[in-house]
Amino acid sequence: MGARPHLIAEIDPELARAARELARRLRAAERPRELRREGAEMVLRLTEAGLASFYLRPVGSLGLGALANGTVAVGLKSAQAGIGLFVRRLVDGLDDEQLRGVASTIEHLLADLEEG
């Protein structure tokens, strides 16, 4: 299958470093399940960064004013709360091998960002 189009979200370099480090730790751990809470929190931090990149910053750059910016921020916080419940529950149920898959996904997403 050839290259497929994808979106690229700008994230803080420190967040990228922390995500790579967690992926390394998940891959190297004898029992990755012991890192599942950290894994869930990292997925949520990356999701928050992506939402900011795709929604908050673009709306802010349109100059629509404080009301529009506030409405988008409130909507995203509400969405993040729902996503958080789902991600924490999902990651809590993953086994060691599935958590290593999370590490691979994080590495793949970050590699795509570097290539973009």
Q: What is the pLDDT of residues 56-73, one digit of tens each?
A: 888 889 988 899 889 999
Q: What is the pLDDT of residues 23-34, one digit of tens each?
A: 999 999 999 999
Query: Would you state the structure tokens that stand for residue 49, as one six-digit string?
Result: 């960064």
Q: Which domain holds residue 29?
A: 13-115
The confidence score (pLDDT) of residue 76 equals 92
The confidence score (pLDDT) of residue 102 equals 93
Kindly provide the residue ranges of all beta strands, DSSP E only, lying in 1-116, ordered along the sequence: none
The confidence score (pLDDT) of residue 32 equals 96
**Residue 92 forms part of a structural domain:** yes
**Residue 7 forms part of a structural domain:** no
**Residue 1 forms part of a structural domain:** no
Asked if residue 3 has pLDDT above 80, the reply is no
Contacts of 25 (CB under 8 A, 6+ apart): 35
**Residue 3 forms part of a structural domain:** no
Q: How many domains does the chain have?
A: 1
Q: Is 114 exposed, middle or buried (0-12, 13-18, 19+ CB in 10 A)?
A: exposed
Contacts of 88 (CB under 8 A, 6+ apart): 37, 40, 44
Q: How far apart are CA 112 and CA 5, in angstroms?
A: 11
